Amino acid sequence: MNFKSSLKVLLSLLLVLMVSCQHFQDETAPTGLMTDLLLHPEEAVITNPSPRFSWIVNGSGDGVMQTAYQIMVASDQYLIENGNPDAWDSGKVYSDESIAIPYNGCSLNENSSYWWRVRTWDHNGEVSSYSTPQRFNTGDFGNVERNWPGESRWVQLKTNGETEYVYENRHPIRYHKVFPVSIVENESGNHFISFEKAAFGTLILTLDEPENESKLVIHLGEKLAPGNQVDRNPGGSITYNRFELIIKPGQTEYQVDIPRFVSNYPNSQVLEEHMPEVAAFRYAEIEGYTGNLQTSQVRQHALLYHFDDDAAHFISSDDNLNQIWDLCKHTLKVTPFMGVYIDGGARERMPYEADAYVQQISHYAVDREYAIQRYTNDFMIFNPSWPTEWHLHIVLMAWADYMATGNADFLEKYYDEIKKKTLLPLAREDGLISTRTGLVTEEILASIHYHGSSFRDIVDWPQGTPANETELRSGHGSITFEGETDRYIFSDINTVVNAFHYRNLVLMAKIAGVLDKTEDEEFFKERSGLVRASMNEKLLNPETGLYRDGEGVDHHAFHATMFPVAFGIAPEAYYPQILEFIISKGMACSPYGTPYLFEALYELGAEDYAFELLTSETDRSWMNMIRFGTTITSEAWDLKYKRNMTWNHAWGAAPAYIITRGIFGIEPLEPAFRTVLIKPQPGALQSAEIKSPTIRGPIHAKFNSEPEGEFNMELVIPGNTYARVMLPLPEKESFSLILNGIEMPVVIEDGSVLIDNLEAGRYLLELKQVYDF
């Protein structure tokens, strides 16, 4: 080989080495940057003068744990890319914290743009590459006139010479073009257009230019009628709209002009004037158009909040479960179209606390998104709805936010407001509370920001006919006496209300502990103990092991026992009777109650029944929703159970939460998933895999359960995270635990095989039978 050829080979090798090194550097760089919980802060403005920064820790191998970081912030992209920060350089900070790091540089200017980046050091002292810089925009820091504290306004943001509307402190809502999957001519000679799934939007058409002006009739709806038609009379609050569209010479582009949504409720949400109105639809039908129509000429102009389709994934050996996951994931993608959680987009468009909580915990399961949850919680504190138990969801919402994000700012800012939502002034000496004994005063209602006239207990919705009445009066046209409350009898001391009150007290003790409010922490611990003791003394029937609906009531509705189990009130000695009772009732709650029902079932060790109920095909199931044709979860199990139900209600999407938290047992043990519990409870499910988003990065889990009792699980734990894994205990006593090919000592705790303190990395865990020959 001559000198020129040798030089050419050497240069090629150097180039490959440089590319490999660059790839290695890119792999080690932090990703998933967030500014004040925003994954895309460049699409918003931030009103916090000291924003908090978070990132995902990466590395060149498994088991990456951060030991130090360095953050740079600059007022210009060129400065940050060249390592010349003019706002803040933290220097090397020895810390394993990678979540919610507060800005600590010079004062940021209002209505300005900044860029930041970060690098980390791992447990071996190796430094990563810098992250790709992230831009964030500041807004008004001062006292701006707002309708309530924390209100997020639409504001104009100028970038690259263009002006656009964005939200403060949350991602914007944007219109997205969705093309149909098919267009056919139906029996009436009309063009029938089918989209894969429903969304909230309007219709855009590109039509051939007509010779003369003519009128088209456009039908948009959620429900399919026989003969490939949009159902003109779908029933309930299922969406159908008819529009007339004039097509003219000289024009080819048309957008269906949907009339403005009219707010008929106190907190109904309406779109800003600059935004076209939307309605829910999956199908469109066009009358009067004689030309050919291709799928490329039709678009569903869908209004969506930010959503990452790749953030979560689930597949299993059960087809029903796969369909249910897809139904719920799509629901959680399309229902936050107003930029805040609402109960449904067809009828009220109003935020409700219970609806929002179920949507919040379910949304965490399918996307690494936290800003809309926090904004909704903020909104609900000052704009509450009427039910007693809905107010009692605020504490649950605040705690779920903290455990997901690790950011205590919301708890600290609104501690006194959150505390009021426990309804402590309604308690008597034994700690039990009541809304019916004259303690609800105008002053108390004002303190919780409720200004209506309907503050009362709800249990579930719609309510059924109480067991002490004989005339059917189930709400909203339910055909059953049970309604969704199992004939619950309302009384002065309501068991469900007090179960929520107990849970509030338990969580308030934890919140007070986070904020170092020692006296409050002790008070709430003592008070929760008092309430639990009083409930078990006065509301629990020791003969049956079930809870009465209320004090002095001789009726045991489903909810009266379900909630005490879910919230840790029920004594374990009564679990066998309780489980038998719950199984006998079936799905006796509305979709709203299902997170609590399944929490109770997994607490009772009923994973087989939980799986059976989750994948059931009765008329009170998620498979029934799929069967009757909705692609977004419905408000009720069926029209016969709620005559005005919608086909776009996010509280029905709880299986996303149930699959993640129940079947895979993934939940944070420490805030921001610093330590995570993974406790699979598969029941009869043979195999499944999930990608579960967390603020520290996704958890990947895949299991296979063999009939002989052998069980294996593949895990990927994200950087800077520890895991506590509890595998199902095999029925046979002789088994071994294999971790990444190495046999480990078997530790049994709480009926599970424990593998504790797993650091970030990839693992294969196997439980294998040991056979004696």
Q: What is the pLDDT of residues 262-302, one digit of tens each?
A: 988 889 999 999 999 999 999 999 999 999 999 999 999 99
Beta-carbon-side half-sphere exposure of residue 522 (alpha carbons within 13 Å): 2
Task: Return the pLDDT at 709.
Answer: 75
User: Comparing C-alpha atoms, which of 246, 250, 230 is closest to residue 238?
Assistant: 230
- Rounded average pLDDT over 573-578: 98
- Give the pLDDT mean for 449-471: 94
Q: Per the structure block, which two tokens stand in for 500?
A: 């929520």
- For residue 723, CA distances in Å to 208, 664, 738 come to 60, 13, 17
DSSP-assigned letter for residue 489: P
Contact present, 219 and 285 (Cβ < 8 Å): yes
CA distance 218 to 205: 11
* Number of Cβ atoms within 10 Å of the Cβ of 507: 21
User: Residue 600 — pLDDT band, cuts 50, 70, 90?
Assistant: very high
What distance in Å separates the CA atoms of residue 403 and residue 65, rounded to the nearest whole number?
20
- Cβ atoms of 193 and 284 within 8 Å: the answer is yes
Contact 765, 754 (CB under 8 A): no
Residues 370 and 672 sit within 8 Å (Cβ to Cβ): no
Backbone angles phi, psi at 595, to 5 degrees: -60, -40
Contact assessment for residue 540 and residue 547, using Cβ atoms and an 8 Å cutoff: yes
Q: How far does the chain reach from its first CA to its final CA, in angstroms?
A: 65
State percent of the chain over pLDDT 90.
Answer: 89
Average pLDDT in the chain = 94
What residues have CB less than 8 Å from 425, skipping those under 6 apart? 439, 444
pLDDT of the residue at 410: 97
**744 beta partners:** 737
Instruction: Compute the distance between CA of residue 312 and CA of residue 163 in angstroms, rounded to an integer.
Output: 33
Residue with tokens 């949304």: 363
pLDDT value, residue 572: 98
Residues belonging to the chain:
773
Residue 470 CB contacts under 8 Å (≥ 6 apart), including other chains:
none
CA angle in degrees (0–180, nearest 5) for 544-548-551: 130
The encoded tokens of residue 308 equal 């990452």
Other CB atoms within 10 Å distance of the CB of residue 275:
14
- Is 50 exceeded by the pLDDT of residue 25? no
Condensed to tens digits (0 to 9), the pLDDT of residues 624-657 reads 999 999 999 999 999 999 999 999 999 999 999 9
How many H-runs (helices) and E-runs (strands) does the chain carry? 18, 34
Residues 6+ apart with CB under 8 A from 713: 680, 701, 702, 703, 704, 725, 727, 764, 765, 766
Q: Is pLDDT above 80 for 11?
A: no
The pLDDT of residue 23 is above 90: no
pLDDT at 10 over 50: no
Q: Percent of the chain, pLDDT > 70? A: 96
Task: With cut-offs at 50, 70 and 90, classify the pLDDT of residue 386.
Answer: very high
- Chain centroid, CA 478 distance in Å: 29
Beta strands 313-316 and 182-185 are unpaired
Integer Cα distance of 659 and 251 in angstroms = 50
Least Cα distance to 166 among 46, 307, 262, 54 occurs for 46
Lowest-pLDDT choice from 159-173, 272-286, 386-400, 744-758: 159-173
Is residue 535 pLDDT above 80, yes or no? Answer: yes
Residue 326 pLDDT: 98
Q: What is the pLDDT of residue 20?
A: 39
Report the distance separating Cα 762 and Cα 756, nearest Å: 15
CB atoms within 10 A of CB 717: 26
Angle of helix 353-364 relative to helix 394-405, nearest 10 degrees, comes to 20
Is 758 in contact with 705 (CB distance < 8 Å)?
Answer: no
pLDDT at 310 over 80: yes
List, in sequence order, every residue forming a beta bridge with 692; answer none if it has no partner: 699
pLDDT at position 2, please? 54
How many Cα atoms within 13 Å fall on the side-chain side of residue 698? 16
pLDDT (0 to 100) of residue 13: 44
What confidence tier does 17 reach under pLDDT thresholds 50, 70, 90? very low
